Amino acid sequence: MIKKAYGKDALSKAQVFSWHKAFREGGEDVEDEQLIGCPSTSHTSDNVAKVKAVLDSDRRLSVRLIADQVGLPKSIVHEIVTTEFHMREVCAKLVPKVLTDEQKENRVPSSREHLDRVRGNPDFLEQVITGDETWVFEYDPETKRQSSEWHTTGSPRPKKARMSKSKMKSMLCFFLL
């Protein structure tokens, strides 16, 4: 009958049985009981300032590392970062190459010079010979997850150059004219 009368707003069957049991045992208070345990005093303005200072120094720290530095539980640090600062952890966007403006500007004249050489001398590419070979050790780039940072919703995603995993070492060839 209660479900018919109130629809979605009706108390659940379990809650009705719980209240019935409480009243049968002599309880007459309809207010919520005080929660057992210590009240949470970790979410203070001082702790918010501490978390902010750590985040300002390095946005790539995980919640666990921030919690260790500040001396707070991980759950409180996560709550402060997400609710107080409205931040979320964002992974870097992988792009083929990250070039500076100077590098981009230097590519244009270099490319034009090579085109002029090929147009002026069609046999230019046949004159290229291998000058030397050497083995070079590569490195393992950080993963997309390792490059994650804390950002607000309005800030742009960080960019990271796409790199392949290291095969230990690679052969480097020099081409000489």
- Same-domain status, 81 and 6: yes
- Same-domain status, 149 and 78: no
Check: CB of residue 171 under 8 Å from CB of residue 139. no
pTM of the model: 0.44
Strands (E), the chain: 87-90, 93-95, 129-137, 149-152, 159-161, 169-176
Flag whether 100 is in a domain. Answer: yes
Check: CB of residue 154 under 8 Å from CB of residue 120. no
Q: How many domains does the chain have?
A: 2
Least confident interval from 40-54, 119-133, 152-166: 152-166
- Same-domain status, 141 and 170: yes
pLDDT tens figures, 157-170: 666 665 555 555 65
Give the number of other CB atoms < 10 A from CB of residue 81. Answer: 21
Amino acid 68: pLDDT: 93
Flag whether 65 is in a domain. Answer: yes
Least confident interval from 42-51, 104-113, 141-150: 141-150
Flag whether 16 is in a domain. Answer: yes
- Same-domain status, 51 and 123: no
- Same-domain status, 78 and 98: no
Which tokens go with 46? 């001082």
- Same-domain status, 55 and 97: no
pLDDT at 119 over 80: yes
Q: Which domain holds residue 97?
A: 93-176
- Same-domain status, 76 and 128: no
pLDDT tens figures, 5-42: 888 788 788 887 888 888 888 877 767 666 665 556 67
Check: CB of residue 99 under 8 Å from CB of residue 162. no
pLDDT at 48 over 60: yes
- Same-domain status, 109 and 129: yes
Flag whether 119 is in a domain. Answer: yes
Flag whether 37 is in a domain. Answer: no
- Same-domain status, 22 and 60: yes
What are the two backbone dihedrals, phi and then psi, of residue 108, each rounded to the nearest 5 degrees?
-65, -55
Amino acid 118: pLDDT: 82
- Same-domain status, 99 and 51: no
In angstroms, the CA 135 to CA 170 distance is 5
- Same-domain status, 73 and 99: no
Amino acid 148: pLDDT: 76
Check: CB of residue 10 under 8 Å from CB of residue 2. yes
User: What is the pLDDT confidence band of residue 90, given thresholds at 50, 70 and 90?
Assistant: confident
Flag whether 152 is in a domain. Answer: yes
Amino acid 115: pLDDT: 83
Average confidence score pLDDT of the chain: 76
Q: Which of 71-75, 117-121, 148-152 tops mean pLDDT?
A: 71-75
In angstroms, the CA 126 to CA 113 distance is 17
